[in-house]
Amino acid sequence: MIAILEAQQAGLLRIKNWLPNLVAGIIVGVVALPLAMAFAIASGVKPEQGLYTAMVAGAVVSIFGGSRLQIAGPTGAFIVILAGITAKFGISGLQIATLMAGVILMLMGFSRLGSIIKFIPAPVIVGFTSGIGVIIWVGQWKDFFGLPSVTGEHFHEKLWHLIQQFPNASLTTSALALCSLALVILTPKLPYMKKVPGPLVAMVFATLVVSVFHPEGVATIGSAFGGIPQKLPDFALPEFSFGQIVQLIGPAFTIAMLGAIESLLSAVVADGMAGTRHNSNQELIGQGLANIIAPLFGGFAATGAIARTATNIRNGGNSPLAGIIHSIVLLMILLFLAPLANNIPLCALAAILFVVAWNMSELPHFVEMVKKAPKTDTAILLITFLLTVFTDLVVAVNIGVILAAFSFMQRMAGAVEIQKHTASDLDKELQLIGHKHLPPQVLVYSIDGPLFFGAAETFQRALAQTNTEPKALILRLNHVPFMDFTALQSLEHVIHLLSRHNVTILLCEANKAVQQKLTKAGLIELLGQGHCFTTFDEALNYCELRFAEDSKKMVVNE
């Protein structure tokens, strides 16, 4: 309840702040109405289940989430994965997977993994959201154009079958859908209509047309689903078995990861618009709790909704009260206006999802990234996009993140510099610390960058291939922020290799974290306690004392 406590401390729950949150909550509730039903139908469940999800998840996230501005509910990002789960495991399987995802989200929050969004690169996020947008768009062709049902397990099969069915499109349904689409797009651009939700206008217009003219062949919620029950959702535990739980672990993790990304992105957007600061771990806990409770009341997966959250902020919402009011508005609509939903045409909801798909695709941003991003990032973007569309969202995100990680490691390995210093390179520094020259037969190497497994080979090769037979080799580690175990093993290998040639290795200027890792790995003991120094000056003094005879010879020669 961090968000509510922060709102109370800021004085946002006082009566004088009720009105703007009341207005914002009503507007968001009205905006959520058509979206909740459209997302539910596209996910393979009944339209009322979308309302149940929006009501329950919206209230729970507002009370227990980490952002006081977040509006939660069913979203377009989930459609692809939820529709697949519903088709394979049924509605009960979807609800079990949602409940499991809720538990995973809560565990992520309690484990303080709220910063997970930072580890998902932009090309991967844009790639899979654009891919989802394409899938949603194509998936709505059937209802938008009044096409017969098509079969096909994969995207390309469904696409081909839909194209083949176009000669059977319903002109009446298509015309009504195009009018609805025009209203969704143009309503916010009309004078005095900027604050009126376009999806609501389109839905009301299409419903009135169907109610008055009864056009033949136009599918409605009533004809497809038998209408929406005018009652509160029933509490029921989904029936499950151990075998189902095992089968649904993968889908549950997908829902949890997608929900975490979507909700935290929405919270970040809200912070940018309102100048607030959300608690990411508490947000995951709130989202997890919402996904545990929603299935118990007939709902399914929910997450933070960026569009509804932005609408909330634009209309004056500044506390969790707006999210709670949004849930109450949906409840009142369900209890008193449910019979009116019978004549809502599915083509109008498809038109709304066309716009949702366009917004999700982020086409301008996608094109800009292709033009301006480095070639590697562009490749990751396109690969993630194509895998999302033609294979599977989970595969796409996993491969996208792995490719991005490999790309990052390659860049980091290339950024690590292992430089050999000559006496002339160190002349000024030696004078500053009181040394006239570099001791004879002493090599100095400096390492700049993190020593991890990606750079271990470069490090080992650079130190092992010395062209001379020095008496000592000083490694300066002042610019090494960390070392991993692979780098420590490489260093151990170099120590053993050079010790066979009677070369003494001295380490200096390592930070505390690196020193601790060197000690834990046993390398300080292997080198000898006297061979690890805090400063470069101490290492030079050791060499001068150890190789005093050579120093005297050098002075005589001078």
CA–CA dist 382, 375 (Å, integer): 11
State whether 447 and 487 are in the same domain. yes
Please count the other Cβ atoms lying within 10 Å of the Cβ belonging to residue 255: 29
State whether 90 and 167 are in the same domain. yes
Closest CA to 544 of 516, 483, 533: 533
Is 126 among the domain residues? yes
CA–CA dist 349, 345 (Å, integer): 7
Is 221 among the domain residues? no
Residue 15: both structure tokens together = 């009566």
Q: Which of 346, 378, 408 is the last residue of a domain?
A: 408
Is 40 among the domain residues? yes
Q: Which of 375, 391, 408 is the last residue of a domain?
A: 408
The residues pairing with 476 across neighbouring beta strands, listed in sequence order, are: 446, 508
Residue 93: both structure tokens together = 């399987």
Please count the other Cβ atoms lying within 10 Å of the Cβ belonging to residue 273: 14
Please count the other Cβ atoms lying within 10 Å of the Cβ belonging to residue 141: 20
124 residue type, one letter: V
Q: Which residues of the chain have pLDDT under 50?
A: 554-558
Q: Give phi and psi for 479, each to the nearest 5.
A: -105, 25
Q: What is the pLDDT of residue 344?
A: 96
Is 236 among the domain residues? no
Contacts 24+ apart (CB under 8 A), 147-155: 154/390, 155/389, 155/390
CA–CA dist 163, 168 (Å, integer): 10
State whether 397 and 532 are in the same domain. no
Is 232 among the domain residues? no
303 residue type, one letter: T
CB 417 within 8 A of CB 447: yes
Domain ranges, residue 443: 416-556
Is 225 among the domain residues? no
- Count of the separate structural domains present in the chain: 2
CA–CA dist 178, 495 (Å, integer): 74
State whether 165 and 44 are in the same domain. yes
CA–CA dist 388, 532 (Å, integer): 52
CA–CA dist 26, 273 (Å, integer): 20
Helix H, strand E, coil C: the string for 462-511 is: HHHCCCCCCCEEEEEEEECCCECHHHHHHHHHHHHHHHCCCCEEEEECCC
Residue 444: both structure tokens together = 């100095």
State whether 399 and 425 are in the same domain. no
| pTM passes above 0.85 | no
Angle, in degrees to the nearest 10, between helices 280-293 and 79-110: 120
Please count the other Cβ atoms lying within 10 Å of the Cβ belonging to residue 429: 13
State whether 398 and 513 are in the same domain. no
CB 25 within 8 A of CB 317: yes
Is 227 among the domain residues? no
**Sole residue written with tokens 């600061």:** 277
State whether 513 and 385 are in the same domain. no
Distances (CA, A) of 267 to 218, 241, 473: 39, 35, 52
CB 82 within 8 A of CB 301: yes
CA–CA dist 177, 184 (Å, integer): 11
CA–CA dist 11, 3 (Å, integer): 12
Helix H, strand E, coil C: the string for 87-154 is: HHHHHHHHHHHHHHHHHHHHHHHHCCCHHHHHHCCHHHHHHHHHHHHHHHHHHCHHHHHCCCCCCCCC
Q: What is the pLDDT of residue 456?
A: 67
**Sole residue written with tokens 């120093």:** 551
| CATH code at position 528 | 3.30.750.24
Q: Which of 391, 408, 425 is the last residue of a domain?
A: 408
Closest CA to 303 of 270, 255, 358: 255
CA–CA dist 208, 179 (Å, integer): 13
State whether 404 and 486 are in the same domain. no
- DSSP structure class, residue 194: T
Q: What is the pLDDT of residue 556?
A: 47
pLDDT in tens, 50-87: 999 999 999 999 999 999 999 999 999 899 899 999 99
Q: What is the pLDDT of residue 48?
A: 96
CA–CA dist 521, 515 (Å, integer): 10
State whether 245 and 151 are in the same domain. yes
State whether 459 and 503 are in the same domain. yes
Return the CA Rg of the chain: 31
State whether 387 and 427 are in the same domain. no
Positive or negative, the CA dihedral 333, 334, 335, 340 is positive
Is 229 among the domain residues? no
Positive or negative, the CA dihedral 75, 80, 83, 84 is negative
Q: What is the pLDDT of residue 178?
A: 97
Which residues lie below 8 Å from residue 21, measured CB to CB, with a gap of 6+? 12, 316, 317, 318, 319, 321, 322, 325
State whether 342 and 424 are in the same domain. no
**Three-state DSSP class for residue 23:** helix
